[in-house]
């Protein structure tokens, strides 16, 4: 069955779900886990999104994380390796074909960490940009309802533009300060 792209109105339970999942993962990873952050559209208050919680983990060592794959599986997380991004470990928590949670884990200092946090924080601080992103996602979801790769590709130019703006904005506003865990 093809994966269906569905955008839902912001759900106030999404932050709670993030916190519960982050606590479960923290119990598994222990001192290797430096921080856990709620990222992606479900982390932006008021933003419509696919109802999938994205979690960014910052870890001391990827090899120590890899050693936890079996324990993560017992929590329902399927390890997918780098899954296309060098230096990342990606996990999916599914219920049948339904994606519930995606985990993106990086060693401390990896540039993807700042990129994800900057993007999220920029959307929170710039509601007009967040609205434009929501509008684009809704349009693409209607156009590519059964084409997740096309949906993702359709967001590419917008995300790259916001990434550039967010990096410049972050250099003006200072380091990330939001505490997620």
Which domains does the chain carry? 14-173 (3.30.460.10)
Q: In this model, does residue 123 exceed pLDDT 90?
A: yes
Label each residue of the chain as H, E or C: CCCCCCCECCCCCHHHHHHHHHHHHHHHHHHHEEEEEEECHHHCCCCCECCCEEEEEEECCHHHHHCCHHHHHHCCEEECCCCCCCCEEEEEEEECCEEEEEEEEEECCCHHHHHHHHHHHHHHHCHHHHHHHHHHHHHHHHHCCCCHHHHHHHHHHHHHHHHHHHHHHHHHHCCCCCCCC
Q: Give the pLDDT confidence of 34-84 residue by residue, as tens digits.
A: 999 999 999 999 999 999 999 999 999 999 999 999 999 999 999 999 999
pLDDT value, residue 174: 81
Q: In this model, does residue 118 exceed pLDDT 90?
A: yes
């Amino acid at each position: 069955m093809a994966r269906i792209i569905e955008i839902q109105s912001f759900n106030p339970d999404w932050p709670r779900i993030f916190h519960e999942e982050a606590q479960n993962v923290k119990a598994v990873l222990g001192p290797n886990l430096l921080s856990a952050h709620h990222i992606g559209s479900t982390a932006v208050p008021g933003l419509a999104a696919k109802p999938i919680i994205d979690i960014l983990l910052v870890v001391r060592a990827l090899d120590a994380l890899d050693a936890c794959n079996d324990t993560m599986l017992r929590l329902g997380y399927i390890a997918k390796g780098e899954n296309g991004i060098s230096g990342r470990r990606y996990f999916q928590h599914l219920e049948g074909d339904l994606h519930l949670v995606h985990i993106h884990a990086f060693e401390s200092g990896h540039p993807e960490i700042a990129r994800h946090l900057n993007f999220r924080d920029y959307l929170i601080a710039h509601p007009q940009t967040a609205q434009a992103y929501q509008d684009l996602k809704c349009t693409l979801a209607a156009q590519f309802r059964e084409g997740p790769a096309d949906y993702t590709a359709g967001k590419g130019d917008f995300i790259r533009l916001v990434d550039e703006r967010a990096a410049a904005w972050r250099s003006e506003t200072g380091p990330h300060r939001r505490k997620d865990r």
